[in-house]
Amino acid sequence: MVKWSKLFNADGHDRRHRLQDEVRSLLPTRREHIPPSPIAAKEVTKVALRLKHQIEQVIPCELEEWKVTKAHSPIITPTVVKTAKEAGGEEYKACVVYCLLVVKKWFKRQALVELWDSDLHDVRAVAAEIMAKRIIEGEENLEYLLEEVLLKRHSIWVDGEATIPANAIERAVDLHALTVIGSSGYQKCVSYLWRGWLVQDDEDPSRFIDYKDKTNTDYWAHFDPDRMRVPAYQNAFQVGMSVIFLALYTGAINTINPSGDLDAIEGLLYLFTFGFICDEVSKFWKVGRWYIGFWNVFNTTLYALLTTSFITRMVAFGHERNQPTRVKFNHLSYNFLAFTAPMFWIRLLLYLDTFRFFGAMLVVLKVMMRESLIFFALLIVVLVGFLQAFIGLDLADNSVQDTGFVVQAMLNAIMQSPEFDGFEQFGHPFGLILYYIFTFVVMVILLNILIALYNSAYEDITENAIDEYMALFSQKTMQFVRAPDENVFIAPFNIIELFCLVLPFEWWMPKPQYERLNDIVMGIIYSPLLLITAFLETRQAHRVSYNRRRGEEDDDTVEEWEQTLHECDFEADGWDKKVQQSKPNVEFGAEILEVRKLQEEVNELKEILLDIREKSGWGSDTLKESKFEESEKLGESSGSASQD
């Protein structure tokens, strides 16, 4: 475990920067419960250094990226990948993929530090990612790939101490390694985690094992409150709670109580809000400032407005009926409530990102918001400069009277609705000239820069829409899987956990009895959902059993083109032989194939000449030697002639 107090020593700034990537921004995270790495951190670091050295030798100079990423790359050859797999030997070979991702992070960091070689280091980072993908896709043992290569947690050695353990799945998500995330083995692992087919071992939390009842067709064996840890079920429950939350808001805003009374719908709305606030506070307490993101700020703003509406309603209750003060605060409460309507509907997008369309669009919006920071940074500088000029012109009359007008006019110009009339007599002619310049800078220059940034962000995301969606889905899965809570109480049911379990029982009740009590409460709360999930898992158990009897993978499905495939024998009817004779060789270009064909013909001709010489029946050794010398001279002369 990282000792966070050491971050504030003499070189604390540098340590914080280097360990920033080690701090997990995904949720839920409980650092004190993360199990240690099964391999010593120094050994993992040595493997990573070996791989870094290899990549530096494989790519000694700046190359075009497509030469590294192409299907049959002349740079990342099978021999290079095989050598990379041997970097950890037999004992540490499971951590090679994790180490390649660490090396990718190192090269990215080096590209920022050494700007003169940034392109070279970027290509090396891509090479590390490509090698990791090739190793993942080349592993045939699925169980070993999932449990040892991708899900086993490792640490590296930084500043005399081990970093927070993480596995290759988490590392790829944190580094946004789209190439690794898009590999088949990685996506199969994420799919198994999402379905709950891979779960953490209760005895050894550092291991992920198969769900023991995956093939159990007994319905009640799947009626287990612990199955609420499954990411798919948690996500479905959160979507359901969000829809109910929206329905409560719709009912509250459409049934206004002029008297200021708090009805049942509004009471449930504010109760849900309190549960969501407790959930946000709990996550921020566990993770710290790394938890803060766009959606967290968005949700916090929504909850703050709802809390303000509730407080003003309570203030209205403090006055008697029909008093003007009560009516005033009651209207103010409903105004705050109505103001949050767009945010309630936008909030649904947070839980619809598992659908491919919404997921890709959310990635686009996220990148656009990040690109907007450049525009707003420029805009703030321009606004402050021109505002100071306008206030200076206003102060020339020894008074500040038109500041409100100036601010409103500048904001209208930003919204592409400038007002020139009021500036005709404003410090004539300087005020009008300044406003024309400000309007030109904002509407023509800055807004077109913003449009160009948005267009670039949209093109970059849509070109890799599938990979970006898979990365978003993997990130959402890891939010549920990474160090999950022992007892899953999803908001707003966390209120029940807080006031009905934690406060009255946890501090004195023995742990086995307390866990049993939690299971009973969760079984009652989630019973409607568990009835559905048990039915779905029973159907999955039948399908998994059927696939295993056929010798196929657990998630295999029989498609329509596979239904009649067993009746075809392409080798017996000669079709496979025709296909093999007519198929092109996509690994090498036509010119390389022609050179190889010519080389084979020359070798055949050489063998024929040697055979003729052996059968020519030369008499004496001298005669043979003379003829051999003559043939050599003849060969040399013909070779020089061919060169000429």
pLDDT for the residue 22: 43
User: Residue 24: is its pLDDT beyond 50?
Assistant: no
Map tokens 């908001």 to a residue. Answer: 491
Whether the pLDDT of residue 265 is over 60: the answer is: yes
Identify the domain containing residue 199 by its residue range.
4-9+17-211
The answer to whether residues 338 and 389 belong to one domain is: no
Q: Evaluate the omega torsion of the peptide bond into residue 492 and state whether it is cis, within 30 degrees of 0.
A: yes
Which SS3 state, helix, strand or coil, does residue 578 take? Answer: helix
DSSP 385-404: HHHHHHHHHHHTTTS---HH
Backbone angles phi, psi at 64, to 5 degrees: -75, 140
Q: Are residues 122 and 198 in the same domain?
A: yes
Q: In this predicted structure, what is the pLDDT of residue 556?
A: 82
Torsion of CA 256, 260, 262, 268, to 10 degrees: 50
From the list 296, 22, 43, the residue with the least C-alpha distance to 170 is 22
Same-domain status, 330 and 375: no
Residue 444 pLDDT grade (very low, low, confident, very high; cuts 50, 70, 90): confident
pLDDT digits (tens, 9 = 90+) for 526-563: 999 999 999 999 999 999 898 888 888 888 887 888 77
Q: Is the domain of 419 the same as that of 450?
A: yes
CB atoms within 10 A of CB 50: 19
User: What's the pLDDT score for residue 244?
Assistant: 93
Query: How far apart (Å, rounded) are the C-alpha atoms in residues 246 and 233?
Result: 20
Dist. CA 154–CA 151, nearest whole Å: 9
Q: pLDDT tens for residues 106-154?
A: 999 999 999 998 999 999 999 999 999 999 999 888 889 998 899 998 9
- Three-state secondary structure readout of 72-117: CCCCCCHHHHHHHHHHHCCCCHHHHHHHHHHHHHHHHHHHHHCHHH
pLDDT at residue 52 in the model: 94
Which residues make Cβ contacts (< 8 Å) with residue 188, sequence separation at least 6?
Answer: 142, 146, 555
The DSSP H or E segment spanning 43 is helix 41-58
pTM: 0.78
> Residue 16 above 70 pLDDT?
no
Instruction: For residue 318, tell me if it sits in a domain.
Output: yes
Q: Is 90 exceeded by the pLDDT of residue 635?
A: no
Q: Do residues 123 and 203 share a domain?
A: yes
One-letter identity of residue 528: P
How much is the CA Rg of the chain, to the nearest whole Å? Answer: 34
Q: Please count the structural domains in the chain.
A: 3
Look at 301-315, 527-541, 581-595 and tell me which has the smallest mean pLDDT: 581-595
Residue 204 lies in a domain: yes
Q: Do residues 324 and 437 both lie within one domain?
A: no
Of 477, 493, 508, the domain-final residue: 477
Local confidence band at 79 (pLDDT 50, 70, 90 cut-offs): very high
**Helix orientation angle between 96-113 and 41-58, rounded to the nearest 10 degrees:** 60
Q: Encode pLDDT of 82-103 as tens digits.
A: 999 999 888 888 999 999 999 9
**Both 316 and 379 in a single domain?**
no
Show the tokens assigned to 49. Answer: 């250094």
**Does 332 score more than 80 pLDDT?**
yes
For the cut 70, the answer to whether the pLDDT of residue 627 exceeds it is no
Mark whether 264 and 190 lie in a shared domain. Answer: no
Q: Dump pLDDT digits (tens) for 462-508.
A: 777 788 888 888 988 888 887 566 778 888 898 998 888 888 888 88
- What is the chain's mean pLDDT, rounded? 82
Yes or no: say if 364 and 462 are a contact pair by the CB < 8 Å rule: yes
